Structure formats: structure tokens, C-alpha cells
Chain A
Amino acid sequence: KAGVTQTPRYLIKTRGQQVTLSCSPISGHRSVSWYQQTPGQGLQFLFEYFSETQRNKGNFPGRFSGRQFSNSRSEMNVSTLELGDSALYLCASSGGGAEDTQYFGPGTRLTVL
């Protein structure tokens, strides 16, 4: 079975711009979660989608948003980028009977200049 895929793998943006990241879960998985990883804060939960609905949300400003499509693929969007948004953004999927076990994609490395 193919794993979780994320595109793009690397992004460089400037302050004030917006960015969209994409995640395709493992086939058959309906839940997609997004995390931000930085050296100082570690892995922090952004939000989780299940069947096109946001089921949980972390403590991030409204500039961070996401959505999920009917094929379970998910996107997250960050508007008005700030320097502090530079991070590794990780997507994880779960499902197929083991709903609480999350498998991570390779991540998107975002650098904001």
C-alpha cells in the first residue's frame, strides 16, 4: 500500500504571501491530521479532518485553515505568512480499522523569508 504523500516537499515564500499544502492519505484512510513541527515547540497539532468535516482543531490563529475532499485528500492553507511560520508541516492519516494510529507523510518544509 502506498504511504501518505505530501506536496510540495519544499517551499520558500516571503512574508505576507499565502501558501497551500496538499496531502494524500493512505488508501482507505478517512482521517487526516496536520501538525507543525519546529525545533522550539516540537510537534503541534493544527487540525483533523474526517469525512470532509473538521473534527478537531488546535490552538493556531485563523490564518491556518484546511479542508478535505471527498476522496479524503486534504489541503491546508496559511495566509499572510509570518517568519514564525517557517516549519516542517506534517500530514498524518489514520483509518482502516485502526482509527487512532497515525502514519505520517514526508512533510513539507516551508521557509518564510
Chain B
Amino acid sequence: QKEVEQNSGPLSVPEGAIASLNCTYSDRGSQSFFWYRQYSGKSPELIMSIYSNGDKEDGRFTAQLNKASQYVSLLIRDSQPSDSATYLCAVNAFYGGSQGNLIFGKGTKLSVKP
């Protein structure tokens, strides 16, 4: 069974600090990786996608991918109270060569304290 694991948290960081969120996945054939942010009572919102090993930066967010270790991370620099949310890691599952669905981790709850 294909799985995506995240530490449920809560992860608490002070305002201005770097928040580090981690995710591991079981399917070595996975090729697409996503981070979503979900505020309480809202739907998931796409933050970043990453496909190649290494880092991808977008503003205060950096996604890191290591396929050999089956590990994806998200760094949030200069964390703000508005970043307080649950962060979901998602991995694309391919079936028989065709694009499949996303498999989600259960999310890490981040709390940024002023």
C-alpha cells in the first residue's frame, strides 16, 4: 500500500523563525510531489510542486526533494502567524503508466507564535 507519512505535530515556532516540515513516501516510482496548506475549516490550497531532486524556492517557501531517501520537506522562512495552518504533503500515484490520484499524508499542524 502506497503511503505518505508526516509528523502530525503540532509544530510550534516563534514569529520570524524557520519552520521545517517533513514528509516520507513509500512508492519509489513517485514522480510528482506537492505541498498544500489547509486552514481550519477550509479546503487545501496548493503551495508548491516539485519534481526533481534538490531545492525549489518560491518566496518564503523552499521545497526540498531527495528521491533516494524518499523524502520531501518544506521550509518556511520568516514564519508569520498567518502561516499557522495544517500542511499536507501529497505524492502522485501512477497506475499502469497512467497518471493516478494524489496520496496525502495526514498533515502537520503548524502554529506560529507572535
Contact = CB atoms under 8 A, between A and B. Distances in A.
Interface of A: 33, 35, 42-45, 48, 55-56, 58, 88, 90, 92, 99-107
A104 to B, nearest CB: 4
A103 B101 CA distance: 12
Looking at chain B, what size class is its interface with the partner chain? 20 to 34
Contacts of B88: 43
B99 A99 contact: yes
B95 A106 contact: no
Residue among B44, B88, B105, B107 with the highest chain A CB neighbour number at 10 A: B44
Interface SS majority for chain B? strand
A100 B92 contact: yes
A102 B102 contact: yes
Most buried by B among A33, A56, A107: A56
Contacts of B45: 104
B44 A100 contact: no
Nearest to A55: B98
Q: Is chain A's interface secondary structure helix, strand, loop, or mixed overall?
A: strand
Nearest to B45: A104
Contacts, number: 47
B106 A42 contact: yes
Given A100-B32, A101-B49, A48 B44 contact: no
A56 B101 contact: yes
B28 interface: no
A56 B100 contact: yes
Interface string B68-91: 000000000000000000001000
A95 B98 CA distance: 14
Given A42-B107, A43-B104, A101 B99 contact: no
A32 B48 CA distance: 20
B46 interface: yes
Nearest to B32: A100
A103 B46 contact: yes
B34 interface: yes
Contacts of A92: 102
B18 interface: no
B44 to A, nearest CB: 5
